[in-house]
Chain A
Amino acid sequence: NAGVMQNPRHLVRRRGQEARLRCSPMKGHSHVYWYRQLPEEGLKFMVYLQKENIIDESGMPKERFSAEFPKEGPSILRIQQVVRGDSAAYFCASSQSGRSYNEQFFGPGTRLTVL
């Protein structure tokens, strides 16, 4: 019973490049959440997706960031034209339903370093 999978675990990009982070939710989970953790800070909500739908993207920066959760395949968080300030750990979580009392299971994270 695999947990939430994220890849890559570490990603190094130069300024201006694109970063693509992947998240495969737990089996049977159709709700995916992305969080970002900047150094010395807590996790900040970015976006909540269900299959083929963005439910809440209120935590996403308005530019350069996008997310999708297609019918088939993993959820993707895409960061275009990365800048040094994008360096952070990006965590994906999944849950069986979107209700707040449903536990969110977290993946191990992708640590993005922008040179």
Chain B
Amino acid sequence: DQQVKQNSPSLSVQEGRISILNCDYTNSMFDYFLWYKKYPAEGPTFLISISSIKDKNEDGRFTVFLNKSAKHLSLHIVPSQPGDSAVYFCAASVGLLMGWGKFQFGAGTQVVVTP
């Protein structure tokens, strides 16, 4: 039962342009969302998060947008840099203030930034 879906397995973008990664979820109880970035042979590293009380969170070149009615979130990277080439995982959890952080992960999107 895949509750978090990343339907684009790969994305190619030119250096300097915007990368837009999408993530859909089915569980309306999810109230906290994260993006992780993963390089080959390494563990995922935290990138940015957003709680369900917000619809946007920005951190430098990274912005996450949340559309609760559509059960959709997206990650924007502007401008894209070669070092952004990695697999990006979307994750969601239930219980922002009550439960523990059991994350459900999407399958990931491989981003390739070309010169």
Q: Which residues of A contact B (CB under 8 A)?
A: 4, 6, 31, 33, 35, 40-45, 48, 55-56, 91, 93, 95, 98-109
Closest to B32 in A: A100
Contacts of B94 in A (CB 8 A): 100
Q: Check if B103 is an interface residue, CB within 8 A of chain A.
A: yes
| Contact-residue size bin, chain B (C-beta under 8 Å from the other chain) | 20 to 34
The 15 sampled A-B contact pairs (Cβ below 8 Å) are A4-B43, A35-B105, A41-B107, A42-B6, A42-B89, A44-B105, A91-B44, A93-B43, A100-B31, A100-B32, A100-B95, A100-B102, A100-B103, A103-B34, A105-B46
A91 to B94, CA, bound (A): 21
Whether A95 touches B43, Cβ cut-off 8 Å, given contacts A42-B107, A101-B96, is no
Q: Is the interface of A mostly helix, strand, loop or mixed?
A: strand
Q: Is the CB of B32 within 8 A of A109?
A: no
Considering the chains assembled together, what is the distance between the CA atoms of A107 and B24 in angstroms? 26
